[in-house]
Amino acid sequence: MTFLAPEFIPRHIALVMDGNGRWAAERGLRRTEGHRRGEAVLMECVDACLEMGTVEWLSAYAFSTENWRRNADEVRFLMGFSRDVLARQRDELHAKNVRIVWAGRRPRLWRSVIREIDKATELTRDNTGLTLAMCINYGGRAELVDATRRLVAAAQEGSVRPGDITEDTLSQWLYLPDMPDVDLFLRPSGEQRTSNFLLWQSAYAEMVYQHKLFPDFTKQDMFDAVLEYAQRDRRFGGAVESN
Ligand code: IPE
Ligand code: IPE
Ligand code: MG
């Protein structure tokens, strides 16, 4: 990726790790086998970002606030799996200077998952390379509801004046106030929807949808997505004068 100038490389990539169940079904395996495969693929995606050099944030959608609707066995697997991936990968990520952070809602999330999140974030808190946001029990609407609750409470106690609230102040109440806006919103698996991922932060994201299922996803697919992103004309509501 050295042939792309840094201004064409996204600062923040949002990745919807989707298609694990279909990948497994195509092989006559249980859905959980697809999730298992995703672990190594996520690590490849981290490596791809590190190789590009100027990607600052990778946000990985691991479990949504809607995924509790799945059957109890799959939910149990996904909770245990999230906990184990954090435990298994944190040292290697730390060695790569990756800072791990978490975005999501605390209630319902397994305590053991929170424990591993705390360990991983504590271990890597001073790292200065890529920031990897693990989005576990995350929902864009839930995030806005949680921000609103805290903001209204602050207004009631008098520390915030409603008329002073701006887009910038609201974003300070989100799960990760230092998270930059999403530049590239990347979803494999053929689905073309956000599924409630980083709604606020993706207001002007470039959407890139790929057909491959996440367990088959490779570094090259991420590079291809960035190449597609680099060709987009981002206007942010402005207009390009035609002379
Ligand atoms: C994404 O793969 C992983 C999670 C949602 C946790 P899916 O499990 O949604 O796989 P498909 O979309 O059913 O193939
Ligand atoms: C989005 O995928 C959530 C994650 C990848 C964690 P889903 O598979 O849950 O989304 P839908 O149901 O296809 O919209
Ligand atoms: Mg899915």
**pLDDT tens, position by position, 12-27:** 999 999 999 999 999 9
Whether 104 is in the pocket of ligand 1, judged by its Cβ within 6 Å, is no
pLDDT per position as a tens digit, 193-213: 999 999 999 999 999 999 999
Which of 20, 67, 146, 221 is labelled catalytic? 67
Q: Percent of the chain at pLDDT above 70?
A: 99
What is residue 11's three-state secondary structure?
Answer: coil
Band the pLDDT of 1: cuts 50, 70, 90.
low
Q: Is the CB of 42 under 6 A from ligand 2?
A: no
Kindly indicate the confidence band of residue 2, based on its pLDDT and cuts at 50, 70 and 90. low
Q: Is the pTM of this model over 0.85?
A: yes
Q: Whose CA is nearest to atom 3 of ligand 1?
A: 18
- Assess whether 18 carries a catalytic annotation: yes
* pLDDT of 73 over the 70 cut: yes
pLDDT score, position 78: 98
Active site residue 183: no
What is the position in ligand 2's atom list of the atom closest to the CA of 17? 5
Can you list the pairs that 36-43 forms with residues at least 24 positions away whose Cβ atoms lie under 8 Å?
A: 36/81, 37/215, 38/214, 38/215, 39/81, 39/85, 39/88, 39/89, 41/17, 41/214, 41/215, 41/217, 41/218, 42/17, 42/85, 43/89, 43/92
Which distant-in-sequence residues (6+ apart) come within 8 Å of 241 by Cβ? none
Residue 3: band (very low, low, confident or very high) from pLDDT cuts 50, 70, 90: confident
> Model confidence over 18-52: pLDDT tens digits?
999 999 999 999 999 999 999 999 999 999 999 99
Quick one: which ligand is closest to 186's CA? 2
Ligand nearest to the CA of 195: 2
Q: Is 34 exposed, middle or buried (0-12, 13-18, 19+ CB in 10 A)?
A: buried
Instruction: Give the residue, by CA position, lying nearest to ligand 2 atom 11.
Output: 195
CA-63 nearest atom, ligand 2 = 6
Q: What is the pLDDT of residue 173?
A: 98
Tell whether the torsion through CA atoms of 199, 205, 209 and 212 is positive or negative.
negative
Q: Residue 213 is inside which H or E element, if any? A: none
CA distances (Å), origin 194, targets 4, 8, 11, 67, 79: 27, 23, 19, 14, 22
Instruction: Say if ligand 2 is within 6 A of residue 16 CB.
Output: yes
Which of 29, 33, 35, 136 maximizes ligand 1 atoms within 8 Å of its Cβ, making it the mutation to test the pocket? 35
CA distances from 27 to 152, 190, 191, 218, 240 (A): 50, 18, 20, 19, 49
* Mean residue pLDDT across the chain: 97
**Does the C-beta of 63 come closer than 6 Å to ligand 2?**
yes
Residue 6 has pLDDT above 90, yes or no: yes
Give dist(CA 163, CA 160) in Å, integer. 9
3-state helix, strand, coil in the chain (%, to 5): 45, 15, 40
Indicate the range of 181-195, 199-213, 229-243 predicted with least confidence: 229-243
140 Cβ below 6 A of ligand 1? no
The whole-number average pLDDT for the span 148-170 is 96
- In 3D space, the residue among 52, 12, 9, 8 whose CA is nearest the CA of residue 202 turns out to be 12
Residue 175 Cα to ligand 3 midpoint, Å, equals 24
pLDDT number for residue 241: 79
Q: What is the mean pLDDT of residues 74-91?
A: 98
